[in-house]
Amino acid sequence: MSQQFGVSGIASSAYVHIPFCRRRCFYCDFPVSVVGDRLRGETSGTISQYVEVLCQEIAITPAFGQPLKTIFFGGGTPSLLSTGQLQRILTELEGRFGIASGVEISMEMDPATFDLEHLAGYRGAGVNRVSLGVQAFSEELLQVAGRSHSVDDIFAAVELIHQVEIPEFSLDLISGLPHQSLDQWHDSLNKALALLPIHISIYDLTIEAGTAFGRYYKPGDSPLPTDETTVKMYQMAQQILTDAGYEHYEISNYAQPGHQCRHNRVYWENRPYYGFGMGAASYLQGKRFTRPRKTKEYYQWVQAGAVIDCEVTPPKEVLLETLMLGLRLAEGVNLEAFGEKKVEEICRYLRSYFDKGWVEVAEGRLRLTDPQGFLFSNVVLAELFEKLG
């Protein structure tokens, strides 16, 4: 797909944030509200109230003329919604924007947060892609990360997914966890492959300020794996997963041919999208806007009319965003979108990285090499931001 640099376009994708979790994981910096084990779906007044306000936001958001082709329920833990609540949100989206035939409807889920009845209900409501937050296949590492599920829960959840025949099924793993060894990482990769997902996302742990990990650890300190070890983890994942037939189509994502996440490609190609819910970002008519991250402030914002009060993103920022996002993709960015003079400027700034073998131009596209270019993507992007910013 070619880049449309500087063209805002019409949104045909929607992200919906469901901010509820049974507990907050120690690495989590997302806007979430902990509701505990005993509260879920329609039994929780907290969740029910949120769904009402969320649907109110959807109802008063201007539509720009295209039915939705992708919808992504993220969190938090969207699988804490009841089937009825999920259907209510989808009905609101369809009534306001329309939903295209062949739509991709993705839902993030955690093991042990759904049973067969719930999953069948989600499938009946239209969910056709599940992203299962596994993170590790070690009881020790799950406890270290503050996860609320066990390894057995992972296998039970995958069995339910296969029973319901969800067409698209992805697993999420985290590398670089405290105390994590290369042997444990190798074991997680092989166990993930044995479950036959069509997509695998691998995220290197980032220590964020304000999280439990941010209080416990400083980047680079033990018991966090060394930089050398995390590089080996990245290279190991790339080797094992590509050998198993997965395409390394984005820095952190692998897919069987024909099964890339259509919704996430909208972000990486810097195309417009709607965002709904607490802390959700949207990119509409050239305006990039993030909703309030606290429940009370988000409710007040919706009650005041859900006004997006920000400036259109300046062309220089759009250029940098397009490069930053597009270079995450294996195919990189389409240089035709930038114009000859800008291409010459970009390539001049990156000359040393071409020499190192981290960056290349192929078939009119600028891209990072795999795995070395991907490993040093932050260095390459920092150079572009310094010279073009």
How confident is the model over 300-320, as pLDDT tens digits?
999 999 999 999 999 999 999
pLDDT mean over 12-41: 85
Output the 3-class SS for the chain.
Answer: CCCCCCCCCCCCEEEEEECEECCCCCCCCCCCEECCCCCCHHHCHHHHHHHHHHHHHHHCCCCCCCCEEEEEEEECCHHHCCHHHHHHHHHHHHHHHCEEEEEEEEEEECCCCCCHHHHHHHHHHCCCEEEEEEECCCHHHHHHHCCCCCHHHHHHHHHHHHHHCCCEEEEEEEECCCCCCHHHHHHHHHHHHHCCCCEEEEEECCCCCCCHHHHHCCCCCCCCCCHHHHHHHHHHHHHHHHHCCCEEEECCEEECCCCCCHHHHHHHCCCCEEEECCCCEEEECCEEEECCCCHHHHHHHHHCCCCCCCCCCCHHHHHHHHHHHHCCECCCEEHHHCCHHHHHHHHHHCHHHHHHCCEEEECCEEEECCCHHHHCHHHHHHHHHHHHC
- Model pLDDT for residues 360-373, shown as the tens digit of each residue: 999 999 999 999 99
Band of pLDDT at residue 122, cut at 50, 70 and 90: very high
Q: What is the pLDDT of residue 224?
A: 95
pLDDT mean over 329-345: 93
Q: What is the pLDDT of residue 81?
A: 95
- Model pLDDT for residues 136-172, shown as the tens digit of each residue: 999 999 999 999 999 999 999 999 999 999 999 999 9
Q: What is the pLDDT of residue 377?
A: 96
Q: What is the pLDDT of residue 344?
A: 94
Q: Please state, rounded to an integer, the average pLDDT across all residues of the chain.
A: 94
Q: What is the pLDDT of residue 43?
A: 56
Percent of the chain with pLDDT over 70: 96
Band of pLDDT at residue 242, cut at 50, 70 and 90: very high
- Look at residue 19 and tell me whether its pLDDT is greater than 90: yes
Band of pLDDT at residue 40, cut at 50, 70 and 90: low
Q: What is the pLDDT of residue 5?
A: 52
- Look at residue 1 and tell me whether its pLDDT is greater than 70: no
